[in-house]
């Protein structure tokens, strides 16, 4: 079951689903960093601009709609949304997933949602971080045996500004044409998230972080890291302070790779992956935040093909994307 992903500015990647009977079409972000699914609701007020600018789900036009009405709110890095729960059939690449509990959004609390290209989100993580007593998308897909193996794979590309073909999401399989070498598998290390344990992160052989968790997140554009690591990372990259910005050399060949170790296997980000040039200034895509784990976002996923295997206790596979 394969879906094509489109992008805007390589910041967001999204694909198409249908909801209800007959299917109402939506663009959604398939988010490995969360487990709930939501769409803008036709019952949102006219004052909610993000809602007005996107496609809205209308339960009255769906014969498979089942009311619930429990209220919820969800917090993301970018902001908060709230609404109420409903249940309906989700259509995806020709398959039908019945009885999915999802959120109808009646309020987007931050204006950032107004400018997003996608209408809603389909969370691909586990029940432990989903709404209480709901079965999230991936688990429902596997329960209803829509795919033979309970896994999916992600392939993302860098594209000029906007592109319809910027990636591929494959449910139930792995596309060996999208990577080179072998897939290296490691166990999922935390409950709820697609989380792995990095044995170390090093620059030119110097450890800058040690035995730390990392979440692989299609819903994050950049790479987030614990605030405590930033000083040693920037020192190792030779960053200089310019006002309140850390700038790096624009001579990429002089910059080191950042190596993330998974036991005997290493994931490497090269300067071409982690440096962006903005108005003549070269800055890195490493962004500090106040948590004690790393978040490997789209920058990482453009370099590595990833497999999310939910069979048994779960594992993740990595190979260099082509």
- Torsional class of 161: left (φ above 0), alpha (ψ -120 to 50), beta (otherwise): left
Residue 312: how many other CB atoms lie within 10 Å: 9
Active-site position among 48, 119, 209, 217: 217
Q: Which of residues 213-272 bind ligand NAG (CB under 6 A)?
A: 263-264
* Smaller CB separation from ligand NAG, 229 or 267: 267
Q: Active site includes 31? A: yes
* Smaller CB separation from ligand NAG, 134 or 153: 134
Structure tokens at 55: 């496609």
* Smaller CB separation from ligand NAG, 133 or 244: 133
Q: Which of residues 73-102 bind ligand NAG (CB under 6 A)?
A: 85, 101
The per-residue DSSP string of 256-321 comes to PPEEEEETTEEEEE-HHHHEEEETTEEEESEEEESSSSEEE-HHHHHHEEEEEE-STT-EEEEEEE
Residue that is written with structure tokens 């009885």 in the block: 99
* Smaller CB separation from ligand NAG, 181 or 238: 181
Q: Active site includes 217? A: yes
Binding mask 167-206 for ligand NAG (x = CB under 6 A): ----------------------------------------
- Torsional class of 192: left (φ above 0), alpha (ψ -120 to 50), beta (otherwise): left
52: part of which helix (H) or strand (E)? helix 49-52
Residue 69 beta carbon to ligand NAG: minimum distance, rounded to whole angstroms: 6
- Torsional class of 67: left (φ above 0), alpha (ψ -120 to 50), beta (otherwise): beta
**Stretch of 31-39, 89-97, 131-139, 232-240 lying at the interface with ligand NAG (CB under 6 A):** 131-139
Task: By CB under 6 A, name the one of 21, 64, 70, 197 that touches ligand NAG.
Answer: 70
* Smaller CB separation from ligand NAG, 126 or 131: 131
Please give the Cα distance from 221 to 295 (Å, whole number).
Answer: 10
**Stretch of 130-138, 220-228, 246-254, 274-282 lying at the interface with ligand NAG (CB under 6 A):** 130-138
Binding residues vs ligand NAG (CB under 6 A): 68-70, 85, 101, 131, 133-134, 263-264
């Amino acid at each position: 079951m394969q879906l094509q992903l489109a992008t805007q500015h390589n910041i967001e990647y999204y694909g198409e689903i249908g909801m209800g009977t007959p299917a109402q079409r939506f663009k959604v972000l398939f988010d490995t960093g969360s487990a709930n699914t939501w769409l803008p609701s036709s019952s949102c007020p006219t004052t909610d601009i993000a809602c007005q600018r996107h496609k809205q789900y209308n339960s009255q036009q769906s014969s498979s709609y089942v009311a619930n009405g429990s209220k919820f709110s969800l917090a993301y890095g970018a902001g908060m949304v709230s609404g109420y729960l409903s249940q309906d059939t989700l259509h995806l690449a020709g398959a039908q997933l019945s009885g999915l509990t999802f959120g109808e959004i009646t309020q987007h609390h931050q204006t950032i949602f107004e400018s997003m290209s996608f209408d809603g989100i389909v969370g691909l993580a586990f029940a432990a971080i989903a709404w209480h007593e709901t079965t999230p998308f991936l688990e429902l897909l596997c329960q209803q045996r829509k795919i033979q193996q309970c896994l999916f794979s992600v392939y993302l590309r860098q594209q000029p500004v906007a592109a319809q073909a910027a990636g591929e999401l494959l449910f139930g399989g792995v596309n060996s044409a999208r990577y080179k070498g072998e897939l290296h598998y490691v166990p999922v290390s935390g409950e709820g998230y697609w989380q792995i344990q990095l044995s170390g992160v090093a620059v030119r052989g110097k450890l800058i972080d040690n035995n730390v968790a990392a979440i692989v997140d299609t819903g994050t554009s950049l790479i987030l890291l614990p605030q405590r690591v930033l000083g040693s990372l920037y020192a190792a990259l030779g960053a200089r302070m310019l006002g309140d910005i850390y700038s790096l050399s624009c001579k990429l060949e002089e910059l080191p790779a950042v190596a993330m170790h998974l036991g005997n296997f290493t994931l490497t980000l090269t300067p071409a992956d982690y440096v962006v040039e903005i108005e003549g200034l070269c800055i890195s895509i490493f962004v500090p935040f106040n948590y004690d784990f790393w978040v490997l976002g789209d920058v990482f996923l453009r370099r590595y093909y990833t497999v999310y295997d939910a069979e048994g206790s779960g594992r993740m596979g990595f190979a260099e994307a082509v």
